Amino acid sequence: MSNTKNLLFIGLPGSGKTSFLAALWYVLDDQTSTTALKLARLSGDRTYLNQITKEWRDGSQVPRTNLQNEQVVVLHLNGVGFGEFDLSIPDLAGEAFKQQLTDRRMSRHHDRLVQDATGVMLFLHPDVVVKSTQLTTVRQLEATLSGNPTIEAAPAAVPNTWSSDMLPDQVKLVETLQFLLERKQGKLRVAVVVSAWDLVDNMGIPPNDYIAGQLPLLQQFLVANDDLLDHAVFGVSALGGDITDKAERRRILNLDALKRIMVHQGQETNNDITRPLAWLLGSR
């Protein structure tokens, strides 16, 4: 009998959770890549996995999960040091985590998933997160107040009613982790995944340095709470580039689908998209 391990994918809307899952299934089903984890056997209805993987393979935008079509994917895997096991991965909507921030509560279903989780993958997308956390907004406001015409001015309309949507994304991510720590018994293992790493790879820094520089609050929270959680940071390019750019999309489609995938940890780079999962399960 195989044992069961439960991983929880979390992140705000558009953070890359479903694209990662699509690429993961493609690699596991293909079975030709050298990966830490392998597909042991097939069972169950794979309609959802095949659907999102087709979109990924064709270079189309993988549809985001919404609250109405949340899925729980079960993969039968094995790996050196792991043996054979069932890996349960709920593909939860980013809107569910937004609701935790606005309503200050989570559903019983999500609470049970948190308590059963072997580890957590926290996804963030640089094109979304950085725009709301860098000093850009502050500098724009300073330019407006000083009347400096050489710097793009901030929008004239400033909302006077506060809402949680105005929180920087790194604050939302820290809040999400705090929710998990309050409900999870024992030490939590967290793999932080910077998705669409191809967008920031030209910065020439490893993923952990990227988090420290662009999301200092998140980085400080992870380090300061090392008694409550272990963490590692990965940069993952699942799609291989910006599919919204026509020329870039053509380049991507000309690549072998397996070669689109790049996984970065520290100074190491490879094509093994199972690596963050293997780390969560205890690999080093």
Q: Check: CATH 3.40.50.300 for 3-126+179-280?
A: yes
Average pLDDT over residues 88-116: 71
Inter-axis angle of helices 169-183 and 216-224, to 10 degrees? 20
Length of the chain, please? 284
Question: Which pLDDT score is estimated for 253?
Answer: 84
CA distance 203 to 221: 24
Backbone angles phi, psi at 210, to 5 degrees: -60, -45
Strands 119-124 and 262-265: unpaired
CA distance 22 to 91: 11
Name residue 255's amino acid: L
Average pLDDT over residues 231-242: 91
How much is the pTM? 0.82
CA distance 56 to 21: 10
Q: Which of 40, 183, 175 is nearest to 99 (CA)?
A: 175
Q: Are 257 and 29 in contact (CB under 8 A)?
A: no
pLDDT in tens, 170-193: 888 898 898 888 888 788 999 999
Backbone angles phi, psi at 91, to 5 degrees: -95, 90
CA distance 213 to 124: 14
pLDDT in tens, 140-160: 545 555 655 555 545 555 556
Q: Are 22 and 53 in contact (CB under 8 A)?
A: yes
Q: Where exactly are the structural domains of the chain?
A: 3-126+179-280
Question: Which pLDDT score is estimated for 206?
Answer: 95
Strands 83-91 and 71-79: antiparallel
Sheet holding 188-195: strands in order across? 38-41, 71-79, 83-91, 3-11, 119-124, 188-195, 229-237, 262-265, 268-270
pLDDT in tens, 32-86: 989 999 998 876 678 888 888 998 888 777 765 554 556 678 889 998 888 888 8
